[in-house]
Structure 1
Amino acid sequence: MTTKTQHRLTFFTPKSTDSNGAIFIDSGISAGFPSPADDFRETRISLDEELISNKEATFFAKVSGQSMIGAGLDDNDLLVIDRSLEPKNNKIAVCFLDGEFTVKRLRVEKNEVWLQPENPNYPIINITEDNDFVIWGIVTNVIKKI
């Protein structure tokens, strides 16, 4: 069975820093009426501490493609992937399928596994015993540039 490549992932290693994190304004940023500037407090936040629960099993990868736009995963987004999490129905997973990495929503029904894109222009992939298939990790967060 041949499958059209819908999503390629480029694995990414962030540069390590010795900083204590970026400045975090914990009062919230108003999307309505502005709040007085003297009402906010400034603290520091580490995205590693906020986004990663298992450092040894967590990886980053950049998305390439459009098959998951309905799930909010766009071209060049940075995925946070945890390999220690158990794959479950409806989770978004990074999978190794027939020699390529792809990211899709898992659909597990009875004894069948399907990889569901979140874009109607891409086909659903039914995993069979003929496929070289591994669920590599579960996507826990996505980081976007705007």
Structure 2
Amino acid sequence: MIVGGSSPERVTRLVISEGVTINYLDIRISAGFPSPALDFSENDIDLIRELGLDKPSVYIMRVDGNSMEGKDIYIPNGAFISVDRSIKAVAGHVVLAILNQEFTIKTLLRKNGRYVLQPENPDFKPIIVSGDDELIIWGVVDVVFYRVGRKL
């Protein structure tokens, strides 16, 4: 068994923004069955561009609350999200909505001709938008950043 270390020829220093660099190990990591195939290589990535964070329509925000901590979609309390205002929201998208002048993140659904803001956490109830409510879909959540196994 080998513990630690990495192949130095596979490590690249990447500049992700002016004055910010990270180490990039150019191998694909299997999240299913381990693969001995390490011959796929990608030498350069631009995380800002790859994640769409360089677009003027994208905003970074921090999540406060755990209504989106679900089984299929998991956006934990304290996570950072990127919200893209240029994406047209459709049913099934996770959106940043303004409901009656309050921001919320929920999955946008349409049921019986009404919009529903669906939390992913089963401890929370869906919000059925009525004709008296003011609903603005501010943008679509595109990327989620959070630390695994540590509190944010």
TM-score range, shorter chain: 0.7 to 0.9
Residue 90 (structure 2) aligns with: 88
Secondary structure (helix, strand or coil) at the match of 2:63 reads: strand
CA distance in 2, matches of 1:82, 1:53: 9
Amino acid at match of 1:144: Y
Change (3 A) 1:130 1:54: farther
Larger radius of gyration: 2
CA distance in 2, matches of 1:81, 1:134: 14
Structure 2 unpaired stretches of 5+: 1-15
Residue 55 (structure 1) aligns with: 55
Residue 13 (structure 2) aligns with: none
CA distance in 2, matches of 1:121, 1:56: 35
Structure-1-length-normalised TM-score: 0.75
RMSD (Å) for aligned C-alpha atoms: 2.7
Secondary structure (helix, strand or coil) at the match of 2:50 reads: helix
Normalized per residue, the structure richer in helix is 1
Where in structure 2 are the equivalents of 1:14-53 lying within 5 Å?
A: 17-19=17-19, 21-29=21-29, 43-52=43-52
Where in structure 2 are the equivalents of 1:132-143 lying within 5 Å?
A: 132-143=134-145
CA contact (8 A) 1:107 1:115 kept: yes
Mean alpha-carbon deviation: is it higher for 44-53 or for 106-115? 44-53
Amino acid at match of 2:77: D
Percent identical: 30
C-alpha displacement of 1:111:
2.5
RCO higher in structure (CA 8 A, sep ≥6): 1
Structure 1 unpaired stretches of 5+: 1-15
